[in-house]
């Protein structure tokens, strides 16, 4: 198998053991004589999978009593409308920190008044807004903790006078989270958990059933809580990989250990960027993401962008091209990325700089 260093932003790198064990289950799930792809989701074999995935999720994230963990289809983008369907009665507040926050705001505006408490759009989302206040007359306050495209991140859990809802699609399990400070946490699986196709929702049950509107059955969180995430056929293969990824994370030592590993990877690359003669970071240093590290060529070297891209590809780097709305480069250093890959990218950058600077 060709050796590459996978910095894709999503779908992204997964633990090798999770991929290998999923591949085995695709051929034969636990000696059942059937593939994971064909076995009934109502069978005891798959029920054991989803039960273990949910149990590991609760254990590793420290989910307290009173919360439910759901594993659903539809992606985080479906949650942009499911959240207001279930929680929005009169008014909601949002923090605008990037494309995905904007998409969530767009959906919420279809339900009533939306207050944007802060925005970093004025500088193309290269920082996290400061000095904002959460209104006390809103039904909930929504944040996006990590901004995959722009490389900024909120890594603290703050107190909120209203139910706090967080899209943690791209940084879940990269740090300990005080779940009790949130009414709801959700996200797509295809960054730190598994393949595209599954969505996780952590929701405090007492916030549900408060809106006066009719909620379509499939969009009502209570439907999925009652049916244990199996009101309809769930995305079985992604859920299996989620289980395997969470097994891997537990074996490593859990979320605190993972956070230290992620910090070391990010520091290694950010230090290389900050000391470089030709590269420069694009995000305010205090708001830099540990998951998506964005940088560009300095103005005097801007004409070398394509040349570096080709050079990095020749060294086995995959997925470091920046999003089309930002340009430059983006190295996604998700949980499963080994520090050896980050070192290889740093070595690649230094070699190129030595030739050009």
* pLDDT tens sequence for the chain (357 residues): 778 999 999 999 999 999 999 999 999 999 999 999 999 999 999 999 999 999 999 999 999 999 999 999 999 999 999 999 999 999 999 999 999 999 999 999 999 999 999 999 999 999 999 999 999 999 999 999 999 999 999 999 999 999 999 999 999 999 999 999 999 999 999 999 999 999 999 999 999 999 999 999 999 999 999 999 999 999 999 999 999 999 999 999 999 999 999 999 999 999 999 999 999 999 999 999 999 999 999 999 999 999 999 999 999 999 999 998 889 999 999 999 999 999 999 999 999 999 998
Q: Please name the residue that has the structure tokens 């958990």.
A: 193
Residue 247 and residue 271 share a domain: no
Structural domain span for residue 270: 254-356
Residue 187 vs residues 170, 295, 308: alpha-carbon distances, Å: 7, 25, 33
274 domain residue, yes or no:
yes
Q: For residue 323, what is the domain's CATH number?
A: 3.90.1150.10
Residues identified as active-site: 100, 167, 191
> Which among 234, 252, 270 is the end of a domain?
252
For residues 158 and 174, what is the distance between their CA atoms, to the nearest angstrom?
Answer: 17
Residue 122 and residue 102 share a domain: yes
Of 185, 145, 146, which Cα lies nearest the Cα of 163?
185
For residues 337 and 91, what is the distance between their CA atoms, to the nearest angstrom?
Answer: 40
Query: Global pTM?
Result: 0.97
Residue 114 vs residues 33, 132, 142, 144, 323: alpha-carbon distances, Å: 52, 15, 10, 16, 28
Residue 87 and residue 202 share a domain: yes
CA 74 to chain CA mean position, Å: 15
pLDDT of residue 25: 98
For residues 103 and 281, what is the distance between their CA atoms, to the nearest angstrom?
Answer: 25
Asked if residues 349 and 279 have their Cβ atoms less than 8 Å apart, the reply is yes
Token digits of residue 265: 């990877």
Q: Which residues of 142-169 are buried (b: 16+ CB within 10 A; e: fewer)?
A: bbbbbbbbbbbbbbebeebebbbbbbbb
Q: For residue 38, what is the domain's CATH number?
A: 3.40.640.10
Residue 144 and residue 231 share a domain: yes
């Amino acid at each position: 198998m060709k050796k590459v260093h996978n910095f894709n932003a999503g779908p992204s790198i997964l633990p090798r053991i999770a991929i290998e064990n999923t591949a085995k289950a695709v051929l034969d799930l636990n000696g059942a004589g059937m593939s994971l792809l064909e076995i009934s989701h109502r069978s005891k074999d798959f029920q054991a999978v989803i039960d273990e995935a949910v149990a590991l999720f609760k254990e590793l994230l420290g989910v307290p009593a009173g919360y439910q963990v759901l594993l659903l289809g539809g992606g985080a983008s479906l949650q942009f409308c499911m959240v207001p369907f279930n929680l929005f009665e009169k008014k909601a507040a949002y923090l605008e920190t990037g494309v995905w926050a904007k998409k969530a705001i767009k959906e919420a505006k279809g339900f009533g008044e939306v207050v944007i408490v802060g925005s970093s759009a004025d500088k193309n989302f290269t920082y996290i807004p400061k000095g904002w206040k959460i209104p006390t007359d809103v039904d909930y306050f929504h944040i996006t903790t990590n901004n995959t495209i722009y490389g900024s991140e909120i890594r603290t859990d703050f107190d909120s006078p209203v139910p706090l809802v967080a899209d943690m699609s791209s940084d879940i399990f990269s740090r300990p989270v005080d779940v009790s400070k949130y009414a709801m946490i959700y996200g797509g699986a295809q960054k730190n958990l598994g393949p595209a196709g599954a969505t996780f929702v952590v929701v405090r049950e007492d916030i549900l059933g408060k809106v006066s509107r009719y909620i379509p059955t499939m969009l009502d969180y209570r439907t999925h809580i009652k049916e244990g995430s199996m009101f309809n056929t769930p995305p079985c293969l992604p859920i299996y990989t989620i289980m395997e990824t969470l097994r891997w994370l537990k074996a490593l030592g859990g979320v605190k250990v993972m956070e230290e590993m992620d910090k070391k990877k990010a520091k290694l690359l950010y230090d290389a960027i900050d000391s470089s003669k030709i590269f420069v970071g694009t995000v305010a240093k205090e708001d830099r993401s540990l998951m998506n590290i964005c940088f560009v060529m300095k103005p005097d070297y801007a004409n070398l962008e394509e040349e570096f891209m080709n050079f990095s590809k020749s060294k086995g780097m995959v997925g470091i091209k920046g999003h089309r709305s930002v340009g430059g480069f983006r190295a996604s250093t998700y949980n499963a990325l080994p520090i050896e890959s980050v070192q290889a990218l740093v070595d690649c950058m230094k070699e190129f700089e030595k030739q050009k600077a």
